[in-house]
Amino acid sequence: MRDDKSAPRPVVEPTIASIESVPAGYPRSYAQIIEAAKQEGRLSIYSATDAREVTELINDFRSLYPEINVEYADLNSTEIYSRFIAEVAAREGSADLLWSSAMDLQIKLVNDGYAQPYASPEKAALPEGSVWKNEAYGTTGEPIVFAYNKRLMPEEDVPQNHAELTDLLRRKPGFYQEKITSYNPVKSGVGFLYITQDVLATGDTWDFVAALGPTNPKLYTSTGAMMERIVSGESLLAFNMIGSYAVERASKDPSVGVVFPNDYTLVMSRIAFIPKDARNPNAAKLFLDFMLSKRGQEHLVKRNMRSIRSDVAAPAIYASLPENTREIRVGPALLANLDQETRLRFLRRWTETLSGKEEQQP
Sign of CA dihedral 138, 26, 285, 277: negative
Sheet holding 97-100, edge to edge: 69-74, 42-47, 97-100, 271-273, 136-138, 131-132
Across the strands, what pairs with 265? 325
What is the full per-residue pLDDT of the chain (362 aa) written as tens digits? 444 444 555 666 767 667 778 999 999 999 999 999 999 999 999 999 999 999 999 999 999 999 999 999 999 888 999 999 999 999 988 999 999 999 999 999 999 999 999 999 999 999 988 999 999 999 999 999 999 999 999 999 999 999 999 999 999 999 999 999 999 999 998 999 999 999 999 999 999 999 999 999 999 988 889 999 999 999 999 999 999 999 999 999 999 999 999 999 999 999 999 999 999 999 999 999 999 999 999 999 999 999 999 999 988 888 888 888 999 989 999 998 888 899 999 999 999 999 987 654 44
pLDDT at 216: 97
Length of the chain: 362
Instruction: Identify the pLDDT of residue 15.
Output: 75
| DSSP bridge pairs for 100 | 271
Q: 59, 16, 58, 238: which is closest to 148 by C-alpha?
A: 238
CA distance 303 to 62: 19
pLDDT attached to residue 16: 65
Report the C-alpha gap between 309 and 324 in whole angstroms.
Answer: 19
- Provide the pLDDT for residue 3: 44
For residue 237, the cross-strand partners are: 148, 180
CA-CA distance, 331 to 158, in Å (whole number)? Answer: 34
Write down the pLDDT at residue 262. 95
- Radius of gyration, alpha carbons of the chain: 21
CA distance 294 to 123: 12
pLDDT of residue 361: 47
In this structure, which amino acid lies at residue 189?
G
